[in-house]
């Protein structure tokens, strides 16, 4: 039994707007760029260069609780115009060549599912509300919620070191091994490498064996010095849940979270998905072919589950969001989590230098945090084997929107459709999709040139004739870090660049250069930090 050692248990003040002690230190700066001010706190209007300028919202402003003319509860109980959103889903899905999509809109405490297209272009099987999709990295929200349930019950503490629960845990740097805490794993500030693609088999001991594989993994940096997206951290959290509960992560998730919430269309193992209509991922088929089914439905090892494998319907994912919006209660009123645990997950632990890859303003304990022109939100994205999943939650209006897709230009579909829904229901204006300006600024690339390294990748930045170029050499790529081998770097500002070179010429990859608190240079690509070699 691991009992919390501090009286506050969650180590934060629920009403505060800043980060917790260690979290506030994890804020690398984006240097030399007056257009990109320091990362704002959650709830503070975002003014970064690529945010859409907010016009007068007109009717949309009426749904905000602070508007004295409108009772927010009445607005929340007004169902959305489902015929309209079905039409928009059908139109935008086809326009962005997405084979199939499942949408769920949660408002007024009720979940409204809509579907469009097919599960598999080869079979033309239609998407239904009961169809399940792979959620990819959205699995991290499930694992984080499970861990917070254990903290809630006093079985675990956020400040507990990993080695106190997993004495066998070790990395290639013994000085760092003993410093990593549960809180840092949840907030991606542990310094551990982003990917641990160790196939430890299909047995119930797969997570335990993956922990053993960490011994050969060198940390990218000291814990608490930078935010950097880490699948490894969530694999460790899955194993921690197993040790505390005495069962597998899969079973613990079912017993402690899915079953109490009645989420019977959510699972963690591929063989469990066969009970339902299953979406097949699609990849770019080349000029004139459109999306084609991927050769393998889910090639990831079982041990990656806590970081990247939950399979669900859009409605079930909205059901998880509803529990968080309802302060930790299940339908019917049964308490699943305390109000403080729910709030702790949404509390800002760290800012993020890369505000564009997933539209993040900061990171909580599992949640990606957003600041939409002063309207706070949270959510997460996920991708797996040609499928993309998106969740956006606006707590002040009680609205959550889920979009699950199986290929095509899924992110463009999400930008357009979720943008329309959130503007209509919440008055939220999402930033425009990331792209370089029509007239890129002149930038001196010399200070940024060099070789940047993180576990599993070597990234080389060069400049010839004033044009920047990035070469990404993935020694051990992870499913969520699909970066083209070479990118032309087009300046957005002095330290932010749009990478061009992917299959979709309209998709731009953010490349962000920063300095860490110790003054060393760092490059972010795919929300993962790489340190510049001396």
DSSP assignment string, 86-137:
HHHHHHHHHHTT-SEEEEEEEETTEEEEEEEEEEETTTTEEP-TT-BEE-GG
Q: Is the CB of residue 386 less than 8 Å from the CB of residue 406? A: yes
CA-CA distance, 101 to 387, in Å (whole number)? 10
DSSP 3-state of 210: helix
> Rg (Cα) of the chain, in Å, rounded?
22
In this structure, the number of other CB atoms found within 10 A of the CB of residue 155 comes to: 16
Residues 6+ away with beta carbon under 8 Å from 95: none
**Cα 259 to Cα 334: distance, rounded to the nearest angstrom:** 12
DSSP SS3 for 400? strand
Alpha-carbon gap, residue 81 to 85, rounded angstroms: 6
Tell me the C-alpha to C-alpha distance, in Å, between residue 425 and each of 28, 68, 79, 102, 378: 35, 17, 10, 19, 16
What is the four-CA torsion angle of 454, 455, 456, 462, rounded to 10 degrees? Answer: 20
Looking at residue 27, the DSSP 8-state letter turns out to be -
CB 210 within 8 A of CB 303: yes
Per the CB < 8 A criterion, the answer to whether 513 and 519 are in contact is: no
User: Do residues 101 and 413 make contact, with C-beta atoms less than 8 angstroms apart?
Assistant: yes
DSSP 8-state symbol, 377: E
The count of C-alpha atoms lying within 13 angstroms of the C-alpha of 130, restricted to the half-sphere facing its C-beta, is 7
Determine the 3-state secondary structure of 390 from DSSP: strand
pLDDT digits (tens, 9 = 90+) for 506-519: 679 999 999 988 88
Active site residue 137: yes
* 440 backbone dihedrals φ, ψ, rounded to 5°: -60, 145
Question: To 10 degrees, what angle do helices 231-245 and 206-213 make?
Answer: 130
The pLDDT tens digits for 291-327 are 999 999 988 899 999 999 999 999 999 999 999 999 9
Secondary element (H or E) of residue 463: strand 457-464
Within 10 angstroms of residue 151's Cβ, the number of other Cβ atoms is: 27
For 206-248, write each residue's pLDDT tens digit: 999 999 888 878 788 889 888 999 999 999 999 999 999 999 9
**Selected catalytic residue, list 46, 131, 137, 210:** 137
Q: How far apart are CA 365 and CA 148, in angstroms?
A: 9
Q: Which residue blocks in 187-297 are alpha helix, DSSP H?
A: 206-213, 231-245, 249-253, 259-261, 270-273
CA distance 425 to 422: 5
Q: Are 495 and 36 in contact (CB under 8 A)?
A: yes
Estimate to the nearest angstrom the gap between the alpha carbon of 21 and the chain centroid. Answer: 23
Helix (H) or strand (E) holding 496: strand 496-500
- The CB density around residue 6, as the number of other CB atoms within 10 Å, is 10
Backbone angles phi, psi at 322, to 5 degrees: -65, -40
Contact indicator for 498, 490 with CB cutoff of 8 Å: yes
Element (H, E) at 473: strand 467-474
Nearest-angstrom CA–CA distance, 445 and 496 = 11
Strand partners, 474: 457
223 closest CA partner among 519, 512, 532, 516 = 516
Task: State the residue for tokens 């935010």.
Answer: 227
Dihedral-angle region of residue 112 (phi above 0 means left; psi in -120 to 50 means alpha; beta otherwise): beta
Q: What is the pLDDT along the chain (534 residues), one digit of tens a residue?
A: 333 334 357 776 444 333 333 333 344 444 433 233 333 332 322 322 333 333 333 333 233 333 434 344 344 567 899 999 999 999 999 999 999 999 999 999 999 999 999 999 999 999 999 999 999 999 999 999 999 999 999 999 999 999 999 999 998 888 888 999 999 999 999 988 876 667 888 899 999 999 988 887 878 888 988 899 999 999 999 999 999 999 999 999 999 999 999 999 999 999 999 999 999 999 998 888 899 999 999 888 999 999 999 999 999 999 999 999 999 999 999 999 999 999 999 999 999 999 999 999 999 999 999 999 999 999 999 999 999 999 999 999 999 999 999 999 999 999 999 999 999 999 999 999 999 999 999 999 999 999 999 887 899 999 988 889 999 887 654 444 456 688 999 999 999 999 985 545 567 999 999 998 888 899 999 889 999 998
Q: What is the pLDDT of residues 450-493, one digit of tens each?
A: 999 988 789 999 998 888 999 988 765 444 445 668 899 999 99
Q: How far separated are the first and last CA of the chain, in Å rounded?
A: 44
- Name residues whose C-beta falls within 8 Å of residue 439's C-beta, 6 or more positions apart in sequence: none
Contacts of 332 (CB under 8 A, 6+ apart): none
* pTM for this predicted structure: 0.86
């Amino acid at each position: 039994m691991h009992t919390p050692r501090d009286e506050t248990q969650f180590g934060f003040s629920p009403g505060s707007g800043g980060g917790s002690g260690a979290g506030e230190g994890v804020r690398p700066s984006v240097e030399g760029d007056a257009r990109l001010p320091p990362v704002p706190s959650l709830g503070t209007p975002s003014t970064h260069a690529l945010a859409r300028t907010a016009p007068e919202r007109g009717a949309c402003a009426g749904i905000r609780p602070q508007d004295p003319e409108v009772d927010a509860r009445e607005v929340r109980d007004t169902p959305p115009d489902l015929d309209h959103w079905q039409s928009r889903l059908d139109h935008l899905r086809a326009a962005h060549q997405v084979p199939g999509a499942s949408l769920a809109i949660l408002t007024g405490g009720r979940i409204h599912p809509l579907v469009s297209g097919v599960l598999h272009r080869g079979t033309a099987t239609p998407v239904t509300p009961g169809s399940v999709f792979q959620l990819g990295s959205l699995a991290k929200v499930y694992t984080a919620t499970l861990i917070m349930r254990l903290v809630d019950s006093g079985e675990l503490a956020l400040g507990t070191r990993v080695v106190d629960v997993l004495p066998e845990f070790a990395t290639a740097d013994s000085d760092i091994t003993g410093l990593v805490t549960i809180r840092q794993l949840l907030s991606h500030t542990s310094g551990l490498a982003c990917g641990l693609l160790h196939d430890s088999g299909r047995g119930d001991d797969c997570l335990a064996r993956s922990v053993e594989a960490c011994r050969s993994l060198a940390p990218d940096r000291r814990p608490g010095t930078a935010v950097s997206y880490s699948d490894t951290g969530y694999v460790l959290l899955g194993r921690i849940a197993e040790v505390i509960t005495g069962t597998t992560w899969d079973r613990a998730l079912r017993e402690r979270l899915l079953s109490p919430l009645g989420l019977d269309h959510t699972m963690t193992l591929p063989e469990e998905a066969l009970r339902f209509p299953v979406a097949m991922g699609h990849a770019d088929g080349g000029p004139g072919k459109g999306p084609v089914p991927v050769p393998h439905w889910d090639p990831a090892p079982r041990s990656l589950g806590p970081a990247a494998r939950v399979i669900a319907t859009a409605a079930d994912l909205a059901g998880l969001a509803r529990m968080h919006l309802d302060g930790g209660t299940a339908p019917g009123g049964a308490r699943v989590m305390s109000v403080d645990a729910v709030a702790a997950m949404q509390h800002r632990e760290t800012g993020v230098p890369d505000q564009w890859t997933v539209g993040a303003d900061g990171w909580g304990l599992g949640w990606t945090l957003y600041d939409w022109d002063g309207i706070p939100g949270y959510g997460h994205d996920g991708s797996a084997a040609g499928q993309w999943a998106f969740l956006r939650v606006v707590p002040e209006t009680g609205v959550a929107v889920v979009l699950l897709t199986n290929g095509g230009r899924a992110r463009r579909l999400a930008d357009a459709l979720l943008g329309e829904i959130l503007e209509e229901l919440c008055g939220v204006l999402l930033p425009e999709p990331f792209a370089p300006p029509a007239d890129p600024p002149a930038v001196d690339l010399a200070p940024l040139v060099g070789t940047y390294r993180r576990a599993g990748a070597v990234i080389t930045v060069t400049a010839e004739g004033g044009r920047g170029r990035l070469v990404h050499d993935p020694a051990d790529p992870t499913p969520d870090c699909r970066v083209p081998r070479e990118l032309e770097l087009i300046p957005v500002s002095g330290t932010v660049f749009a990478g061009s070179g992917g299959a979709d010429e309209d998709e731009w990859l953010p490349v962000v250069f920063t300095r860490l608190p110790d003054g060393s240079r760092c490059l972010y690509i795919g929300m993962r930090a790489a340190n510049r070699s001396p």
